[in-house]
Amino acid sequence: MTATVLVVAALYVLAEGSLFHLEVRGHALSVSLSDLALVVGLFLLPPHWLLVARLAPAVVLFVVRRTALVKAVFNLGLFTAEIGVAFTLLQVLAPDRGLGVGTWLATYLTVAVVDLLGGFAVVLAMRLLGSAVPRRDVVPMIGAVVVSGFLSTTLALMAIVVLDTSVAGLLLLAALAAVVAVAHHAYYRLLRRHQDLNRLFAFTQTVGAARDADGVIANLLDHARELLNAESAVLRLLPGLGGTATDSDPLLSEPHPRLIPRGSRDPLERQWLARNGLRDALLVPVRDETHVVAVLQVGNRLGAAGTFTRDDLKLLQTLVAHVEVLWHNGRLVDQLRHDATHDALTGLGNRTLFNDGLQALIDGGGHGATLLLDLDRFKEVNDALGHPVGDVLLEKVAARLLDHVPTGSQVARLGGDEFAVLLRGLTSPEEALATARAARAALTGAFEVTGTFLEVGVSVGVAMVPADGEDAATVLRRADLAMYEAKRTGAGVVRYSPVLDHRSTGLLELAGELRSAVEQDQIVMYFQPKESLRTGRIVGFEALARWMHPERGVVMPEVFVPLSEQTGLVGLLGEAAASQALEQCRTWLSRRPGVGVAVNLSPRRLLEPGLAASLDRLLAEHEVPAELLTLEITESTVMADPDAAVRAMHQLRDLGVRLSVDDFGTGYSSLNYLHRLPVQEVKIDKSFVLPMHRDVGATAIVRSIVELAHTLELTVVAEGVENEPTRQALVELGCDVGQGYGLAYPMPPEDVQDWLVRHDATRRDRRAGGRPRAV
């Protein structure tokens, strides 16, 4: 009898151990092992001895752990009630305690009832104490309690049955129990990770939507506490920012995160814990611009079991990265707003800003004119002398144009070599034409660019407000038609007239030519390399389409890909692009196994029914292993119809190809979607990467995307890597792959092999020079 009491008591003690804890917001519910003890006790002990075996170890533990009195009393009361209910119920259902099926069922029922009552009592008590369990946690919690109750009851019944025949049989049972325990443990870890992820996403979402810093900080602290199951979370400002607490605190002024586990042996850490009255802690510095401004301190891991781990520290760093973004938000929002409406090269307004100005003029019932200017030989200059010269020329054209239009005019660069001028308050078309001729004359004079004199012609289209359109888009389109007419006839300046609507010019003309262009192989793929930021090796190429137009020169994809969507040629174009890309990939295979190719899927194409079949056929035709093909799908394509997109993506995944979310970060809603997408890769949009070398806000965004993606075990690619400092910063953030002009411009396929050879040589040189490229 004494031995049985001791065994049952020992089981109860073990139940308090870490292995069998389910933690909900820091309150540990002991499950399974205590059920085991309960069942064994119910069968082998009279009720008062069972009660002793239950309460005695609990009292000792409460004293040792200095549990708060109210919690101890509550728990002792609860334990007593549980045993009372269990005993009475089993007595009614199976008074003889025979070892048949009927008794087993009675026992299962008894344990389930007791566990549920216990669970509800705890939830109720927590609610009374002001820390309610969130509703979404209650159902999984009940589920877990019932499942583990069932498991332990089964074990206990087996033990009793085995005991009836052979004591040694218990050893076999113990072995089985050990296996179950390990599986049980793994399951709870998984459950915990899943909860962490959900909470992280919830947090990202609130930060994304938040507008003021105070709310976000309160939110951050709440989330940090909840996520890490900790008693306290505080943001400690460093001196100079109104903080005092950290003077002469060596740990708080460190620039790197620190994990201080319970029972740390480091004397400095022990001292620090004692001084701050904590058992364990996590410290993560928060940076503003360049300095550490504060430290996020999370202390006292709750729950009887465990202390903080490296994983917890990483989780906290991710939270902090999001907050750092917000720290710069004010500045960032202004910057983004400016960037969104201005052309980075010339500083002029862009198409959006121009449209807004034009629409405002129309809406206000004003009068005016729109001039649309397009340089005549810009493409040739650019091709012959290179982009840098082309860029300087555009800057000079912009400056001269500004000088030669009436004050108060709005000047914009619409893209490429296209400019627009809005003349306000002007009513006569003659006056508009005269201004256009003057501007044209001014731009026709030579420009000096690095010692060379360059001449470019310019053609101007003119459309009047309100005569030539009721909305900005119409006015601009008509100015565009007039401009093409000016170019086509060599007239220089032309005003819009309705006859032009019936001539296919400009975009319309291009759209008409697209089909034959595809058929005559005028669309060719260029290839831009992607390198591993860890090793410097080339991991693949992105295929980018170019239209080699016999008259217009190179037409860029941003012009003709949308046209293909409007004219129903997406499939044709997409198929041609994928086919060329795979053909090249095949030629690299022999010399460079493993170098893959990425193709862009246009929005319409993703949802086309025959897509998977077509790709499958092309892969077979070109004999390229599916895993070497990556399909880049823009975030906006996914978000336009997430359910349909996810379905289509699963079909593509079934082929074995890789999927990548392109232009990631441009819409924050996708953060919440990312974990549901069957993708292997995230491509950070270049608008975040380009400003990295001058803007820490951008860096903070990139850091949080990298961390988020790594949490989901995705590969992170940064596009738009133009210079070495950016590349270095990306290496430090742990970004996996880089792509950009800094490494190479997109190149025609025939250049790829030579480029790879040269790239290898520079890699070797750098290595030999002892300068490590990657960390």
Q: Which residues lie near ligand C2E (CB under 6 A)?
A: 528, 544-545, 556-558, 561, 577, 600-602, 632, 662-663, 686, 719-722, 740-741, 746
What span, in angstroms and rounded, lies between the C-alpha atoms of 288 and 769? 36
Q: Which of these segments, 8-16, 303-311, 555-563, 657-665, binds Ca ion (CB under 5 A)?
A: 657-665
Q: Which residue has the tokens 């583990």?
A: 148
- Cβ neighbors of 663 (< 8 A, separation 6 or more) are 634, 635, 636, 683, 685
Question: Is position 16 an interface residue for Ca ion (rule: CB under 5 A)?
Answer: no
- Closer CB to ligand C2E, residue 494 or residue 523? 523
**For residue 265, how many C-alpha atoms fall within 13 Å in the half-sphere facing its CB?**
0
Q: Is 602 in the site for Ca ion (CB under 5 A)?
A: no
602 binds, among Ca ion, ligand C2E, none (CB under 5 to 8 A by kind): ligand C2E
Per-residue binding letters, 699-738, with Ca ion (x by CB under 5 A) = --------------------x-------------------
Q: Which is nearer to Ca ion, 475 or 631 (CB)?
A: 631
Q: How far separated are the first and last CA of the chain, in Å rounded?
A: 65
- For residue 750, give every residue at least 6 positions away whose Cβ sits within 8 Å of its Cβ, in sequence order, or none: none
Query: Is 600 an interacting residue with respect to Ca ion (CB under 5 A)?
Result: yes
Residue 417 Cβ vs ligand C2E, minimum distance, rounded to whole Å: 15
Residue 260 or 601 having the CB closest to ligand C2E: 601
Q: In sequence order, which ranges of 166-288 are alpha helices (DSSP H)?
A: 169-209, 213-228, 267-276
Element spanning 299, H or E: strand 291-301
CB of 689 to ligand C2E, least distance (A): 8
Residue 738 Cβ, how far from Ca ion at the closest point, in Å? 13
* 524 or 589: CB nearest ligand C2E: 524
Tell me how far apart the alpha carbons of residues 188 and 205 are, in angstroms, rounded to a whole number: 26
Residues of span 620-639 touching Ca ion by CB under 5 A = 632
Q: Work out the angle between the directed axes of helices 351-363 and 329-341 (0-180°, nearest 10).
A: 80
**CA quadruple 313, 319, 322, 323: dihedral positive or negative?**
negative
Give the torsion sign (CA, 84, 86, 87, 93): positive
Rounded least distance, CB 439 to ligand C2E, Å: 29
CB closer to Ca ion out of 29 and 543: 543
Least separation in angstroms between residue 662's CB and Ca ion is 4
Beta bridge partners of 681: 660, 715
What is the closest distance, in whole angstroms, from the C-beta atom of residue 600 to ligand C2E in the complex? 4
303 vs 746 by CB, closer to Ca ion? 746
Q: Rounded to the nearest whole angstrom, what is the least distance from the CB of residue 525 to ligand C2E in the complex?
A: 7
What span, in angstroms and rounded, lies between the C-alpha atoms of 720 and 741? 7
Q: For residues 600 and 715, which CB has a smaller minimum distance to ligand C2E in the complex?
A: 600
CB of 473 to ligand C2E, least distance (A): 22
670 contacts Ca ion (rule: CB under 5 A)? no
Cβ count within 10 A of residue 370: 29
Output the six-digit token pair for 322.
């999001």
Is 663 a binder of Ca ion (CB under 5 A)? yes
Q: b/e map of 120-147 (b: 16 or more CB within 10 Å)?
A: ebbbebbeeeeeebeeeeeeebeebbbe
The smaller minimum CB distance to Ca ion, of residues 312 and 663, is found at: 663
CA distances to 284, 660, 758 from 525, rounded to whole Å, are 47, 19, 21
Shortest reach from residue 497's CB to ligand C2E, in Å:
34
Number of residues that bind Ca ion (CB under 5 A): 5
Pick between residue 67 and residue 666 the one whose CB is nearest to ligand C2E.
666
User: Two tokens at 761?
Assistant: 């040589």
**Contact residues for Ca ion, defined by CB under 5 A:** 600, 632, 662-663, 719
